[in-house]
C-alpha cells in the first residue's frame, strides 16, 4: 500500500455510478486535517449520476466512462490516473466490474464499500436478500478490491441490528448512514500504520 509521507496527501480518485452520498462524505473527510487523502478525480460510469454534480460543486476534475468498450476505456483511465499520479481509488457505489488487468495495475490500492457483512451477501440486491433470509444483523464493509467480486481483504466492518418492521429500503438508508462514517475510518486505519 502507498504511504502518506510528508505533507503531501495521497492523490485519490473516487469511482461512482449514482447518487454519490459516499462521495460526499469522502470529499468532506478529505478536507479535514486528519485525512491522509486528497480527492483529485471523480470517475462516473453514468453521465447522469447525481454524484457528478458534487464533483462539479467542489471543483474536482471529473469524467464519465460508460465502459461500453471496457478494455479501451480501462486503458484510457489507467493512463489518466498515472498521468495525474493518482495512487488510491475508492469505489463508492460504482456499478461496473473492473477487469483483472486493471486491478493488477493498481494492486492493493483500490478500496470498495459494500452494504453487507462480507463475506455474506456479496453482489447485488443485498438488502432484499438479507430481509428475505430473516437475518438479525446486517451492516457494511470496507475492503480491498481483488479480482473476485466483493472478496478482497476486509479493512473494517460495522454491524447493525435489523428491526422487525425493516424493509430493504429502510435498511439500505440506515446502513448508508453508517457507510458514510465507516469509509473515512477505514482510510485512516490503512494509512495510520504507514
Ligand atoms: C451504497 O450503499 C454502496 O455501498 C453501494 O451502493 C450505494 C451507493 O450509494 N455499493 P451512494 O451512491 O454512495 O449514495
Q: For 48-57, what is the mean pLDDT?
A: 98
With a CB cutoff of 8 Å and minimum separation 6, the contacts of 172 are 115, 127
Averaged pLDDT, 49-56: 98
Asked if residue 194 has pLDDT above 90, the reply is no
Per-residue model confidence (pLDDT) at position 192? 85
Rounded mean pLDDT of 22-31? 98
| Residues with a known catalytic role | 114
**pLDDT confidence bin for 174, thresholds 50/70/90:** very high
**Helices marked H in 70-160:** 70-83, 100-105, 126-132
Beta strands, E only, 17-81: 37-44, 61-64
* Ligand 1 atom index nearest CA of 16: 12
Whole-number Å distance, alpha carbon 145 to ligand 1 midpoint, is: 16
- Locate 110 and state its grid cell: 483500490
Nearest CA to ligand 1 atom 14: 21
**Mutation to probe ligand 1, out of 179, 180, 184 (largest number of atoms < 8 A from CB):** 179
pLDDT tens-digit map of 90-113:
999 999 999 999 999 999 999 999
Determine the pLDDT at residue 120.
98
Q: Exposed, middle or buried by CB within 10 Å (0-12, 13-18, 19+), for 160?
A: middle
Q: Residue 3: phi, psi to the nearest 5?
A: -100, 150
pLDDT digits (tens, 9 = 90+) for 117-145: 999 999 999 999 999 999 999 999 999 99
Residues with CB under 6 A from ligand 1: 16, 18-22, 51, 92-93, 113-115, 176, 179
Ligand 1 centroid, distance to 6 Cα (angstroms) = 32
pLDDT of residue 193: 60
- According to DSSP, the β-strands at 37-44 and 61-64 are parallel
> Does the structure show a pLDDT above 50 at 3?
no
Q: How far apart are CA 100 and CA 146, in angstroms?
A: 8
Average pLDDT over residues 31-48: 97
Q: What is the rounded distance in angstroms from the CA atom of residue 151 to the CA atom of residue 122?
A: 8
To test the pocket of ligand 1, the residue of 28, 115, 117 to mutate (highest count of ligand atoms within 8 Å of its CB) is 115
Grid cell 460495522 in the structure block, residue: 158
Distance in angstroms (rounded) separating the CA atoms of residues 17 and 91: 9
User: CA 48 to CA 179: how far, in whole Å?
Assistant: 23
Amino acid at each position: 500500500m502507498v504511504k502518506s509521507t510528508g505533507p503531501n496527501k495521497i492523490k485519490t480518485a473516487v469511482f461512482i455510478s449514482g447518487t454519490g452520498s459516499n462521495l460526499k462524505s469522502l470529499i468532506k473527510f478529505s478536507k479535514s486535517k486528519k485525512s491522509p487523502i486528497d480527492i483529485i478525480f471523480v470517475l462516473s460510469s453514468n453521465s447522469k449520476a447525481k454524484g457528478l454534480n458534487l464533483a462539479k460543486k467542489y471543483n474536482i476534475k471529473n469524467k464519465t466512462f460508460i465502459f461500453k468498450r471496457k478494455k479501451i476505456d480501462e486503458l484510457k483511465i489507467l493512463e489518466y490516473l498515472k498521468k495525474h499520479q493518482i495512487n488510491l481509488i475508492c469505489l463508492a457505489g460504482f456499478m461496473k466490474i473492473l477487469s483483472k488487468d486493471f486491478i493488477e495495475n493498481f494492486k492493493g490500492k483500490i478500496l470498495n464499500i459494500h452494504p453487507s457483512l462480507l463475506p455474506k451477501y456479496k453482489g447485488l440486491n443485498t438488502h432484499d436478500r438479507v430481509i428475505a433470509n430473516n437475518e438479525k444483523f446486517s451492516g457494511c464493509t470496507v475492503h480491498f478490491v481483488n479480482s473476485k467480486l466483493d472478496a478482497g481483504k476486509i479493512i473494517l466492518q460495522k454491524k447493525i441490528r435489523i428491526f422487525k418492521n425493516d424493509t430493504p429500503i429502510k435498511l439500505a438508508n440506515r446502513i448508508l448512514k453508517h457507510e458514510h462514517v465507516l469509509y473515512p475510518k477505514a482510510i485512516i486505519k490503512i494509512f495510520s500504520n504507514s
